[in-house]
Amino acid sequence: MSESPSTDVQATLRFFLEIDKLKEVDRRNFLASSSRRENTAEHSWHLGIAAMIMAPFATEPVDLATAVCMALVHDIVEIDAGDTFAYSQSADELASKEAREQAAADRLFGLLPPAMGQRFRDLWDEYERGETPEARYVMAVDRMAPMLLNTVEGGTTWREHGITRDRVIARNGPHIEPALPAVWAQALAMLDAAAAAGKVATD
């Protein structure tokens, strides 16, 4: 149930300005150029584009509008919950991640007029559950993006955290390969070239 139009506009602008903070949430990986670490807002843009351009290689038919919107929305909770490193093995960090992200979704999507807030919440829930073709596809693209950036950048983040080629494959392959097998094959070839060049540890 929405309030007056002007209340809805005010709520919409408040949300628009609040999510500006996603530009200041840093991720672990660097840009392809190595100049600095990536932030979550620009990562989300890159995923939206990736969802558009990788669609021809997807194994399941996906609704592109849903996938692109999901890519843009799926990390907004990091404004409150922070970015959890993909290779984290901290039991505490992983255990608290869901509770932190649920609270973040309540607060952030709750800033929007109710109908729009529900739409964002539904997209985020769908992504988190991972049970639809669109959620599986966006999750594959979300794993693909930092894997590619880390590979071409020279593996700095992986070296910082002692992540080997085999762990990269074990962590990402199960999400990417079923959804985007041809893209996975090419990413793997690039990873192996980086390993052969001594940029990625092999044991």
Question: Would you tell me which residues interact with a second copy (CB under 8 A)?
Answer: 5-6, 8-10, 12-13, 15-17, 19-24, 31-33, 35, 38-39, 41-42, 44-46, 48-50, 52-54, 56-57, 64-65, 68-69, 72-73, 112-113, 115-116, 119, 145, 148-149, 152, 182-183, 185-187, 190
Q: How far is the CB of 1 from a second copy (least distance, A)?
A: 14
Residues in contact with 82: Cβ distance below 8 Å, sequence separation at least 6, in sequence order: 25, 100
Concatenated DSSP letters for 135-196? Answer: HHHHHHHHHHHHHHHHHHHTSHHHHHTT--HHHHHHHHHHHHHHH-HHHHHHHHHHHHHHHH
Asked if residues 44 and 19 have their Cβ atoms less than 8 Å apart, the reply is no
Q: How far is the CB of 191 from a second copy (least distance, A)?
A: 12
Asked if residues 155 and 200 have their Cβ atoms less than 8 Å apart, the reply is yes
Question: Which of 12, 84 has the CB closer to a second copy?
Answer: 12
Question: Which of 88, 132 has the CB closer to a second copy?
Answer: 132
Q: How far is the CB of 94 from a second copy (least distance, A)?
A: 26
Q: How far is the CB of 192 from a second copy (least distance, A)?
A: 15
SS3 37: strand
Question: Which of 64, 201 has the CB closer to a second copy?
Answer: 64
Phi, psi of 98 (to 5 degrees): -65, -45
Q: How far is the CB of 35 from a second copy (least distance, A)?
A: 6
